[in-house]
Amino acid sequence: MADQLQFDMVSPERLLKSEPVASVTVPGADGYFTVLVNHAPFMTTLKPGVVDIVSDAGRERFYVRGGFADVGATGLTILAEEAIPLAEVDPQALAEDIQNCREDVADAPDPEAKAIAETRLNDLLDVQKALGR
């Protein structure tokens, strides 16, 4: 691939990626956006979703649960609250978490607790959808 940008993704636990890539699609607060080389600089918060990375090595996808994206002159940096490679997600454990969240929504004692449980459930359903299940 000809033109590439520097991409770095960091979670509180570790550096997940640091390499030149062709493009990165990111779940920004206002919707998904794709960053290519020479993208205009800006910063945004992330919503839960899938970061899709295209490089010479192929395509790699991570589920992020929020954080920040900073597009600058040198490339893109993502500071993720949590990031999980989709290849490492256990579909059975995910299905169990979804079922538990559905029960949490049904059993919520008040509207605030219900809203929190629904947000978590939607995040998990997004991961399941990204896995194609």
- CA torsion, points 15, 8, 48, 101, in degrees to nearest 10? -20
Same domain, 14 and 66: yes
Burial 96-129 (b: 16+ CB within 10 A, else e): ebbeebeebbeeeeeeeeeeebeebbebbebbbe
Q: Calculate the average pLDDT of the chain.
A: 91
CATH code: domain of residue 14: 2.60.15.10
Statement: residue 133 has pLDDT above 70 = no
Domain housing 110: 89-130
Same domain, 80 and 98: no
Rounded Cα–Cα distance for residues 52 and 23 (Å) = 8
Q: What is the pLDDT of residues 86-105, one digit of tens each?
A: 888 888 988 999 999 999 99
Residue 2 is predicted with a pLDDT of 64
Same domain, 73 and 10: yes
Number of domains comprising the chain: 2
Same domain, 80 and 18: yes
Same domain, 63 and 24: yes
Q: What is the pLDDT of residues 46-83, one digit of tens each?
A: 988 889 999 998 999 998 988 999 999 889 999 999 89
Residue 3 is predicted with a pLDDT of 87
Same domain, 45 and 101: no
Same domain, 61 and 110: no
Same domain, 67 and 125: no
Which residues fall within 8 angstroms of residue 96, CB to CB, at 6 or more apart? Answer: none
Same domain, 34 and 82: yes
Same domain, 24 and 63: yes
* 0.85 exceeded by pTM: no
Same domain, 35 and 13: yes
Residue 53 is predicted with a pLDDT of 97
Q: Which amino acid is at 72?
A: G
Same domain, 71 and 98: no
More confident position, 127 or 44: 44
